Amino acid sequence: MKKFLSYVVFAIMALNVMAQTPITNRIVVHKGNKIVAGYDMNAIDSLSFDAIGEIKANLSLVSTAANSAVVEIQRSADCASFLLAYEPASDWDGYGTVADRVKEIKHTELKVDGKQNLLSLRSGEIYNVYTLAFDKYGIEGETSMISMQVGTGDEDAFTVTLSDITCNNVGVKIQPVDQNMFYSWMLHTKEHYEDCIENHGNMNGWDKAWWNNVAMQTGVTWQEAMYQDITQGETDEPESDWLLWDTDYVVTVYGISEEDGTALTKTTVVPVHTKSPTPSSNNISVEIQNVYYDGVDVKVTTTNNDTYLVGSERKTYVDFYMANGEEAFLRQWINDVHENTTLIHSGNDEFKKTVKAQDTDYYLIVVGYNGGPTTTLQLIPFHSAKMF
């Protein structure tokens, strides 16, 4: 066969020499009625043949767990590289070849045998895993395909540890089984969690609604909003001192696909109840000494050094929230001002408490505080002066 092809090449070259007009010749490769490839004779110095055996990357399943699996690939002797891809079996309608499917979906090119970890899989779902092999010339060989079912996820994909539980703080530590999986977590009131389930079906539904809302408000995509919320690896948040006292909270966490926001695991829910504050024997006496258009001078006398809050709000604000009782008012007000550390005092003190509006009815708000109210609430009315 080699001798015959040499005669063909020499004959074509002789024709080129004899022809009056330069002719560019091609070697054309046929299979049946189709042209497989064509080559410019001027670009070819010689032709040779190479015997290639089986070109395949054989797949086998090693193990599955919740949200992950391990497969092993064994290449044939003449398989130089291969593409590895996987997807939920329900994503492929069966049309086309496995080779076409591998190139169509997300895939990884590999050149070594061995075990491969497949991560961020959907709990309990059936997946197809594919390989498409190539020889050393980059020519496609055979495909390999297996189907497998991912772990059911009945076991928790996360370990959640709570610590330092006080009136206004809960430390949260989250350890995922799969360190590479993205997840969404939240520490929120039990009431809010129940609203999420009632209105959105699950936490993933609530998250997606939230990310879409953020996207509309800020001009980013919902996926960009999602990336700001989800995380990987271990989470260790020892402080969350914005919580309210004597309140039911829950920590929720679930695995999520960073590509489309799909939930990958069931939601782990861990309840926690914050402590009630210890009452203080501190007797807090308050005197308003001077009134200005932008505030008042305040003198406070105490009987011990227990901490307390002194703030001011418009009468309309106080009246609105006091309509539901002192406890409801304090929960609303402390939630609103908890980041303002200038409201916290201890022992005898004198200071100016500023206000924003002139000629307006206000209340000075005084209450013992140690993560929650520790004394009886005092509301002292005053009216800010006119500027002119």
- 108-127 pLDDT, tens digit each: 999 999 999 888 888 888 89
Which residues, including other chains, have CB under 8 Å from residue 104's CB and lie 6 or more apart?
Answer: 96
Q: What is the pLDDT of residue 35?
A: 86
The DSSP H or E segment spanning 288 is: strand 285-292
Residues 70 and 34 in one domain: no
The pTM of the full predicted model, rounded to 2 decimals, is 0.65
Cβ(18)–Cβ(12) below 8 Å: no
Q: Half-sphere exposure of residue 161, counting CA atoms within 13 Å on the CB side?
A: 9
Domain termination site, one of 273, 301, 334:
273
In a domain, 51, yes or no: no
Question: Does 242 score more than 50 pLDDT?
Answer: yes
Q: Please state which of the ranges 28-42, 46-60, 238-252, 283-297 shows the lowest mean pLDDT.
A: 28-42
In a domain, 280, yes or no: no
Residues 162 and 264 in one domain: yes
328 band by pLDDT with thresholds 50, 70 and 90? very high
Cβ(296)–Cβ(351) below 8 Å: no
Residues 175 and 69 in one domain: no
Q: What is the pLDDT of residue 7?
A: 46
Question: Does 5 score more than 70 pLDDT?
Answer: no
Q: What is the pLDDT of residue 249?
A: 95
Q: What is the mean pLDDT of residues 42-68?
A: 85
Domain termination site, one of 149, 178, 199:
149
Residue 137 belongs to domain with CATH number: 2.60.40.10
Residues 139 and 164 in one domain: no
Tell me how far apart the alpha carbons of residues 338 and 325 are, in angstroms, rounded to a whole number.
20
Whole-number CA gyration radius for the chain: 36
Tell me how far apart the alpha carbons of residues 129 and 85 are, in angstroms, rounded to a whole number.
6
In a domain, 388, yes or no: no
**Angle CA(250)–CA(251)–CA(252) in degrees, nearest 5?**
110
Mean pLDDT (the chain, rounded) = 89
Total structural domains within the chain: 4
Residues 185 and 221 in one domain: yes
Domain termination site, one of 149, 184, 209:
149
Handedness of CA 34, 40, 43, 44 (dihedral sign): positive
Residues 143 and 168 in one domain: no
Residues 184 and 246 in one domain: yes
Token match 């418009």: residue?
Answer: 314
In a domain, 49, yes or no: no
Q: For helices 315-322 and 326-337, what crossing angle results, to 10°? A: 130
Tell me how far apart the alpha carbons of residues 342 and 373 are, in angstroms, rounded to a whole number.
17
68 band by pLDDT with thresholds 50, 70 and 90? confident
Cβ(57)–Cβ(112) below 8 Å: no
In a domain, 232, yes or no: yes
Do β-strands 268-273 and 248-256 pair in parallel, antiparallel, or remain unpaired?
antiparallel
In a domain, 163, yes or no: yes
Tell me how far apart the alpha carbons of residues 178 and 157 are, in angstroms, rounded to a whole number.
7
Backbone angles phi, psi at 2, to 5 degrees: -60, -40
Tell me how far apart the alpha carbons of residues 336 and 347 are, in angstroms, rounded to a whole number.
24
In a domain, 330, yes or no: yes
Quick: pLDDT tens for 290-303: 999 999 999 999 99
Return left, alpha or beta for 114; rule: phi > 0 is left, psi -120 to 50 is alpha, else beta.
Answer: left
In a domain, 52, yes or no: no
Q: What is the mean pLDDT of residues 265-280?
A: 93
20 band by pLDDT with thresholds 50, 70 and 90? low
Q: Please state which of the ranges 201-205, 207-211, 337-341, 381-385 shows the lowest mean pLDDT.
A: 337-341
More confident residue, 33 or 176: 176
The whole domain housing 132 covers 57-149
Tell me how far apart the alpha carbons of residues 142 and 58 are, in angstroms, rounded to a whole number.
9
Residues 175 and 126 in one domain: no
Return left, alpha or beta for 136; rule: phi > 0 is left, psi -120 to 50 is alpha, else beta.
Answer: alpha
Quick: pLDDT tens for 340-378: 999 999 999 999 999 999 999 999 999 999 999 999 999
Q: What is the mean pLDDT of residues 138-167?
A: 86
Question: Does 155 score more than 70 pLDDT?
Answer: no
Cβ(163)–Cβ(173) below 8 Å: yes
Q: What is the pLDDT of residue 9?
A: 47
Q: What is the pLDDT of residue 31?
A: 80
Q: What is the mean pLDDT of residues 267-285?
A: 95
Residue 345 belongs to domain with CATH number: 2.60.40
Q: What is the pLDDT of residue 21?
A: 57
Question: Does 16 score more than 60 pLDDT?
Answer: no
